[in-house]
Amino acid sequence: MTPRERIKKAINHLETDIIPLDLGATDITSMSINTYAKLRKALGLPSQPPKIREPLQMLAEIDMDFIEKLGIDTIALDFPTTMFGFKNKNWKPWQLFDGTKVLIPEDFVTTSDSEGNIFLYPQGDASVAPSGKMPPGGFYFDPLVRQEPIDQEHLDPQEWVEDQYSLLTEEDLSYLEKTVDHLYKNTDLAIVNCFGQGGFGDIALVPGPGVKHPKGIRDPQEWYVAHLEHPDYIKGIFELQCRIALKNLELLYQAVGNRIEAVVVSGTDFGTQNASFISPKTYREIYKPFHQRLNDWIHQHTQWKVFYHTCGSIISLLDDLVEVGVDILNPVQCSAKGMEAEGLKSKYGDQLVFWGGGVDTQKTLPFGTPAEVKREVEERCRTLGRGGGFVFAAIHNIQPRTPVENLLAMFEALGRL
């Protein structure tokens, strides 16, 4: 099978010749930039500074020679603008704390303080307050809360949404159309788009890392409390966001057609290690109607599969996610309570594609032995791959300091080395 055929079969719950592999097609199935640089070297690939594709998590842009070396089946169709509001273009050199040389976009504008913290700015504008902070020796940018004084009695959903969401521009659509055309014609890889605008309440976006002067409730703690204290405000934001997202889905489809296999609609995390963040009742009242509207549009107008990312123990919400039309679940955090691989496959294997769950990135991959990594990968492939409906990916992004020998063991277990 070609990679595109392999992914298409897997996401339609059909068995494939080998387990399909994703690494780098999304912002939640990728690899940290320094780990990527080390793995390229271990694989004997040409030495070159990798590009930072997503600055919040400092993720690598996965190069074509890497994809070919490991037989990866997927490739990303990214939007040109990052979470910090600047475009990935006109690359320039930079260096990580550990000395890794990388490339960053021209508007990746930073300053530092006397303590060694590095600050990143929304839309590359250093005249406003920074929206991201990397501590000395750090690996990521933490979003900074810049919540301005708010009037609790007169919260305005409109101003929150106007800061955060807008219709796709002609420039954006032209970029997407040209890029998907190139990828579809010149590769046989399965193309995945991280749309993300159905990520209602995605806590990475609530502080507004790409917004110069974010308005309304932007503090994550206050945001969660607002679900109880100001539910109409939250639902008002979601209603306006949903209207824009529906228009943008239509524009996206006009640009890319059915040349993509899956679209990441939401990255909102609903789970902790032991339970969901919110009750099923709250999910049904505040989130479910909006998820339903977006997913219905996709299923009625496209051939795309609907891809949702939500970490943690979400077992109490899975019936609802199936009901609203989620096709693909990620990252499949099997270490969380109630999320054991066998139980998920037995109950939901005919309804959900498991895109992830391949190996634990909290314990096994970073801290286990190569033999333990290989054993877990083989077990997950047997369990989740049974009868199709499985795309191998690690449970979330592969983290910094992950031993290269463990990564090689993972790919060996998959038969890719």
User: pLDDT tens for residues 60-81?
Assistant: 999 999 999 999 999 999 999 9
Peptide bond preceding 280 in cis form (omega within 30 of 0): no
Beta-ladder partners of 31: 398
The whole-number pLDDT of residue 124 equals: 98
Task: Give the confidence band of 198 by pLDDT, cuts at 50, 70, 90.
Answer: very high
Nearest to 261 by CA among 348, 157, 190, 158: 190
The whole-number pLDDT of residue 244 equals: 98
Instruction: Catalogue all structural domains in the chain, each as residue range(s) with its CATH number.
Output: 3-413 (3.20.20.210)
**Position 95 pLDDT exceeds 90:** yes
Quote the CA–CA distance of 9 and 322 in Å, as a whole number. Answer: 20
Mean pLDDT for 223-239 is: 97
**Position 207 pLDDT exceeds 90:** yes
60 Cβ partners below 8 Å, 6+ apart?
24, 30, 31, 32, 33, 35, 36, 37, 50, 51, 52, 53
221 Cβ partners below 8 Å, 6+ apart?
none
The whole-number pLDDT of residue 13 equals: 98
**Position 122 pLDDT exceeds 90:** yes
Quote the CA–CA distance of 149 and 171 in Å, as a whole number. Answer: 35
Q: Would you call 242 helix, strand, or coil by DSSP?
A: helix
The whole-number pLDDT of residue 8 equals: 98
Mean pLDDT for 352-357 is: 98
The whole-number pLDDT of residue 409 equals: 98
Structure token pair of residue 332: 């499949």
The whole-number pLDDT of residue 339 equals: 98
Beta-ladder partners of 268: none
Q: Quick: pLDDT tens for 290-307.
A: 999 999 999 999 999 999
Token pair 């592969």 is found at 398
Q: CB 161: neighbour CB atoms within 10 A?
A: 21
The whole-number pLDDT of residue 170 equals: 97
321 Cβ partners below 8 Å, 6+ apart?
291, 308, 310, 314, 329, 352
Task: Give the confidence band of 101 by pLDDT, cuts at 50, 70, 90.
Answer: very high
Strand-pair category, 190-193 with 262-266? parallel
**Position 253 pLDDT exceeds 90:** yes
CA distances from 161 to 53, 85, 264, 320 (A): 25, 15, 20, 26
Which parts of 54-151 fold into alpha helices (H)?
64-70
Q: What is the rounded average pLDDT for all residues in the chain?
A: 97
Beta-ladder partners of 120: 110, 132
Record the pTM.
Answer: 0.97
The whole-number pLDDT of residue 287 equals: 98
CA distances from 281 to 152, 268, 323 (A): 25, 17, 14
pLDDT over 90 percentage in the chain: 99
The whole-number pLDDT of residue 152 equals: 87
Beta-ladder partners of 21: 392
The whole-number pLDDT of residue 171 equals: 96
Strand-pair category, 353-355 with 328-330? parallel
Q: Is the dihedral of CA 173, 177, 178, 180 positive or negative?
A: positive
